[in-house]
Amino acid sequence: MYKEKTAQAVDILNEFDIDLWLTFVRETHTIHDPGLDFLCPASLTWQSAIIISRSGEKTAIVGNLDSAAVEETGIFDKVISYKSGIAEDLTGYIESKNPDTIAINYSKDNEMADGLTHGMYLILKNYFKDTPYADKFVSSEHVLSALRGRKTDKELKRLKIAAKITNDIYAEVTDYMEAGMTEKDVAEFILNKVSKLGLETSWDKATCPSVFTGPDTAGAHFGPTDRKIERGHILNIDFGVKKDDYVSDMQRTWYFLKKDEKEPPGSVKKGFEVLLGSIQAAAAAIKPGKEGREIDGVARDYIVEHGYDEYPHALGHQVGRAAHDGAALLCPEWERYGERPYMKIEEGQVYTIEPRLTVKGHGVVTIEEEVVVTKDGCEYLSEPQTELYVIKK
């Protein structure tokens, strides 16, 4: 996968007219640069430079005790080993290439492209202070955003498998749940399934899965509690698995019938149908070249027009090696999202679509689907939820 993605990076550098992409890191086991997920699997201890040229050359300049592990990856055309310091080898290599642009690993808006610490930036600038190259540094955010976002066939295959496993576990938890259980009971059942499969959760187990039952829950980004599931509750779960380095991130919604109910009340059914309609409208609107804010607006307007409050977050994010992956978002023009609302949707990107709405007295209805952007639209990565799951037990 690393060889495939670094080859893809060369095409992206040429597309963006960037001569060199320099990822400058140290102690990567402790301070992990997200870009290394596509560049080098080896742990790097001392100051290290991973450099890809638009000509296709892939070079690593690393400390002498790291060089054997880096060479063993088979990714790099050249591995330069240093003993006392990187400055001479790094500046000499850059001078030999004489680039007009050097993309380095920082970003204002995209945390997945912002691995360069401030201290390392100051060191880098100091190394090149007496050269013309100190003024040729630019952010590599567009390079890494494209590389993360444009999924290869192998990446999509892994993402589809992770999504299917997640849906399968949701089917099992549907059979398992009953009124009187706690949110923690449900979470423990799911975590046991993940463990038996020899997998990991997509993010920290403290909040993956998140389980929310009834009208008085935290609503998002919160771990399961001792709150009991009651009849008349809407329950939703946010969860995903990690398999072969790629993850899923999906949400599903259930309703627990009261003893005198044969079907969910009208307000719950309406809430679900409106939410489902907003997802389907957003999916139908997704096309390469559109901006994320446009798609968010479709779902947001749909929900508001049907009498519900707008959801307090973005409609969707990218998924890949991380649950929140890539730069472009399906999001409103809010300060916290920076320039992301205006980024173009591209073929091969994988997004979640995850609006939510509240049904008074019952809880929160939310579904999170994953879609891959195609040449003229999008496709679901796994079987979507199209009916409210109803629990009688």
- SS3 annotation, 137-154: EEECHHHHHHHHHCCCHH
Q: By percentage, how much of the chain surpasses pLDDT 70?
A: 99
**What digits encode the pLDDT tens for the residues 24-35?**
999 999 999 999
Under the banding of pLDDT at 50, 70 and 90, the label for residue 326 is confident
Residue ranges per structural domain of the chain: 2-148, 150-391
The answer to whether the beta carbons of residues 316 and 351 sit under 8 Å apart is: yes
For position 353, what pLDDT does the model report?
98
The answer to whether residue 218 scores a pLDDT higher than 70 is: no
Compute the mean pLDDT over every residue in the chain, rounded to the nearest whole number: 96
Asked if residues 30 and 38 have their Cβ atoms less than 8 Å apart, the reply is: no
Question: Could you read off the pLDDT of 173-185 as tens digits, one per residue?
Answer: 999 999 999 999 9
The tens digit of pLDDT for each residue in 60-81 reads 999 999 999 999 999 999 999 9
Q: Where are the beta strands (DSSP E) in the chain?
A: 20-25, 48-53, 58-63, 78-82, 102-104, 137-139, 200-201, 210-213, 234-239, 241-243, 246-247, 250-256, 316-318, 325-330, 350-353, 356-359, 363-366, 369-373, 378-380, 389-391
Q: Which residue has the tokens 């500046």?
A: 91
User: Model pTM?
Assistant: 0.93
What count of other Cβ atoms lies within 10 Å of the Cβ of residue 165? 20
CATH topology of domain 150-391: Creatine Amidinohydrolase (3.90.230)
Distance CA 271, CA 306 (A): 9
Q: In this structure, are residues 370 and 159 in contact, taking their beta carbons and an 8 Å threshold? A: yes
Residue 241 identity (one-letter amino acid)? V
The pLDDT of residue 306 is 98
What amino acid is encoded at 87 in this protein? A
* Domain at 2-148, CATH from 3.40.605.10, 3.40.350.10, 3.30.230.10, 1.50.10.20: 3.40.350.10
Question: What residues pair up with 352 in beta bridges, in sequence order?
Answer: 370
Helix (H) or strand (E) holding 293: helix 292-305
Q: Write the single-letter amino acid at 180.
A: G
